[in-house]
Chains A and B, each alone.
Chain A
Amino acid sequence: MSGAPSVLFDAPGPATVRRHRLYTVLALVVLAGALALVGWRLYVEGQFAYDQWEVFITPRFVEAILVDGVWVVLQMAAAAVVLSLAFGLVFGVAKLAESPLVRLPATYVVEFFRAVPVLLLMILIFFSYGVTRGDSGAYWSVVLALMLYNGSVLAEVVRAGILAVPKGQSEAGLAIGLARGRVTRLILLPQAVKIMLPSIISQCVVALKDTSLGYAVAAPGLVRLMSSIYQQFGNQFATLVVTAALYVLMCSALTLLATWVQRRYVGEKQALAISETAGTDAATGKVV
């Protein structure tokens, strides 16, 4: 089904139009009522007062939020994505290797890191490496943990992308006498990149959101900065609204980019559906 809701029901007749109008009014009343209740509650508790929000229009704090928060988070996510692309490329290709000596270990590594919560990895890395190195130790613990997790997901993306290239391509490559490695490198990967791009960008969104988990090891970033702000000013609600808004802005921008890339480079073909968790076959989404 195309997703257009109109497939599920006929064009409404006059009686149905009236009924839908009633539903619309009822829904509006309920939604507006709920919003009004929340708004009133917030008003009563003084959450709209100027002093709650003042810090977010104070230039010194705005600068801190943008430089020590948003910029650090973006750097963290970028580092994690670059490293996990390398990880994913190596393990994704290894998962497709002929030899079981390469294929099986790669498969187990990828499945393991997809099944283990990223926070556990973060703590292990933090206590192995980061704990004596202050802020930069915590920073790299987050990046490395995100690399292992997102890299494993990207390994599945790479594998699915290569498998999505028509079979005739690799056969033609082998037929003109290229070795398997060169077929992968020269023929399959360049074509697979195009198919993989939207999935890779969606994974960037996941990495960006997961930078917030650095909170658990007190890594620098938006959430740690914001929590120090609300501890100082006691404006928990306002601070979290701003935090969420910043994350939503960054992630929506990336999602828009993914949609555009999908339309521009992949066309109407369906995007690769890669499951983010273990326990499900990544390429087909089937439960294993």
Chain B
Amino acid sequence: MDIVLDNLDLMGRALGYTLLFFVIAAVLSLTLGTVLAAMRVGPVSVLRRAAAAYVTLVRNTPLLVVLLFFRVAGPKVGLNFSFVDLQLGQWRINNIFAALVVGLSIYTAAFVCEALRSGINAVPLGQAEAARAIGLPFGGVMTQVVLPQAIRASVPPMASVQIALLKNTTVCGALGVVELFARMRSFTNNDPTQRVGIFIAFAALFVVLVLIVSFVANRLERRWRIA
């Protein structure tokens, strides 16, 4: 544990990178996932099939392989994100960071799409039928009747997806950004005798982060609950 307490600045920066990965990828994956879910339930069959293919393909590929695509295969074909290079004091957001964020978002979007779709499936059949009966078109059915209920129903699975994303940011640590996992590995490597203390410190940090995300989701679910 001493090695952790002596290097709190390094730990803090690692935590910062983890949170950056999480927040940016969460926003991007929610956006992309919502578009995919819209395609998936919409009336245009080409888009429906394209979204279904995307979800099947991405869900069955390990995250590490998705990240490697952007990290090592991307630069080979001119996709190197070299336009991203921010330096703020000790912080550096470079092309590696950008590639990994894109990979994480692309991977998580498939699960976001499924969470939203399960929310849409949870809305009782009569709701959509009633909406159609009063003459609403597809857009109206979705925005006025189905989605407001579906979004409420999809808060728990969405929280689960985002918690998984939080844990998945550790995979980025294996590919060249020093976030919590990479920091833990280097601490452990420097002093294997303290491995248990180091593990407990980092694991506790993750447990706290998971609890925070789950707390926020819980609050949202309660605030949005109808009656």
Contacts and interface: CB of A to CB of B under 8 A. Distances in A.
Interface of A: 1-3, 5, 7-10, 12, 20, 23-24, 27-28, 31, 41-42, 45, 47, 112, 115-120, 123-124, 127-128, 131, 205, 209-213, 215-216, 223, 227, 230, 234, 236-237, 239-240, 243-244, 247-248, 251-252, 255, 275-280, 285-288
Contact of A223 (B60, B64, B188, B192): B64
Contacts of B192: 127, 131
A247 B61 contact: yes
Contacts of A223: 62, 64-65, 68
Interface in B39-63: 41-48, 50, 56-57, 59-63
A12 B137 CA distance: 10
Contact of A247 (B43, B60, B123, B141): B60
A278 B163 contact: yes
A6 to B, nearest CB: 9
B195 A124 contact: yes
A147 B2 CA distance: 29
Q: Which of A120, A276, A288 has the most CB of B within 10 A?
A: A120
A8 to B, nearest CB: 5
Interface of B: 41-48, 50, 56-57, 59-66, 68-69, 72-73, 76-78, 117, 120-125, 128-129, 132, 137-138, 141-142, 146, 155-157, 159-160, 163-164, 167-168, 170-171, 173-174, 181, 184-185, 188-189, 192, 195-196, 199, 202-203, 206-207, 210-211, 213-214, 217-218, 221
Q: Main SS of chain A's interface residues?
A: helix
A94 to B, nearest CB: 20
Contact of B160 (A118, A205, A277): A277
Contacts of A215: 64, 174
B65 A252 contact: no
B115 to A, nearest CB: 10
Contact of B78 (A1, A45, A286): A45
A275 B46 CA distance: 31
Contacts of A47: 76-77
Residue picked from B66, B73, B125, most chain A C-beta under 10 Å: B73
B171 A213 contact: yes
A243 B181 contact: no
B38 to A, nearest CB: 11
A10 B136 CA distance: 10
A112 B65 contact: no
Contacts of A275: 156-157, 160
Contact of A277 (B64, B146, B164): B164
Best-surrounded residue of B46, B59, B132, B168 (most CB of chain A within 10 A): B46
Nearest to A7: B128
B85 to A, nearest CB: 22
B60 A252 contact: yes
Contacts of A12: 43
A9 B195 CA distance: 58
Which of A8, A28, A275 gathers most chain B CB within 10 Å?
A8
A140 B167 CA distance: 22
B206 A117 contact: yes
Given A27-B50, A212-B65, A236-B76, A8 B57 contact: no
A215 B47 CA distance: 35
Contact of A212 (B59, B62, B122): B62
A38 B45 CA distance: 23
A21 to B, nearest CB: 9
Given A116-B206, A287-B221, A7 B129 contact: yes
A229 B63 CA distance: 20
Contacts of A5: 41-43, 48
23 contacts: A1-B121, A8-B146, A9-B137, A27-B47, A27-B50, A119-B173, A127-B188, A131-B192, A209-B62, A212-B63, A216-B173, A237-B73, A237-B76, A237-B77, A240-B65, A247-B60, A248-B61, A275-B156, A275-B160, A279-B163, A279-B217, A287-B214, A288-B218
Contact of B202 (A27, A120, A209, A287): A120
